[in-house]
Amino acid sequence: MLTAMTELPSPEDKPQRGGRKERRPPKPATPERLHKAALHYLERYSSSTENLRRVLGRRIERSARLHGTDRNEAATWVDGIVEKLTALGLLDDDRYAEGRALSLHRRGASLRKISGMLRQKGLDDGRIETALNALKEELPTPDLAAAIRLARQRRLGPWRDPARRGERRDRDLAALARAGFAYDLAQKIVDADNPERLEEALADAADEMIR
């Protein structure tokens, strides 16, 4: 006598555990949602006007593809949002340029690299020049200070193990060149006898500025 067999559920019938939930598509862009997104972005990041326009523009592009949002109409929404945030002081390209330039310099960026990065954020040449001039007024030799900071962070030149300085010299020079520093400055950093000599050179430049 045959025993009835219980039908086992197929893998498709089993509940999936630990699987990722399907991401819901973004909602259509509206003036209110774009304004909220702009505020949320500015809470997390400082931004230039053009950079914020690009951020909102990407949202509009997704909405246009998924929901048929009119791109031209949405662009007028962005204009209104930018105007409102500028009036509130939440967008200020002059303040952003100077603050961003100072922040990049403190991380060891050369003036050349700072200029390029500010330009990538959509800032015009006039604002970039003003921001760089502010650095030059505060520091006698901003590139020397930045190059020393970068070399210290990456342990280049006199901060490197003396036994390996010779074999690493070209790599250290290349690292500073990629960061936008002139070859003669990179050479000065990499070939310095010790870190103290570089700090003295920076202090001497500061003294000359005061005089």
Name the token pair of 201: 């050179």
- Please state, in angstroms and rounded to a whole number, the distance separating the CA atoms of residues 119 and 26: 31
The model's confidence at residue 6, banded by pLDDT at 50, 70 and 90, is very low
- Please state, in angstroms and rounded to a whole number, the distance separating the CA atoms of residues 126 and 211: 29
* Confidence check: pLDDT of 56 > 80: yes
Residues 59 and 37: beta-carbon distance below 8 Å: yes
The model's confidence at residue 205, banded by pLDDT at 50, 70 and 90, is low
Sign of CA dihedral 116, 117, 118, 124: positive
Bigger pLDDT: 40 vs 137: 40
pTM: predicted TM-score of the whole model, two decimal places: 0.79
Q: Tens digit of pLDDT for each residue in 115-167?
A: 999 999 999 999 999 999 999 988 879 999 999 999 999 999 999 999 999 99
Q: Tens digit of pLDDT for each residue in 101-117?
A: 999 999 999 999 999 99
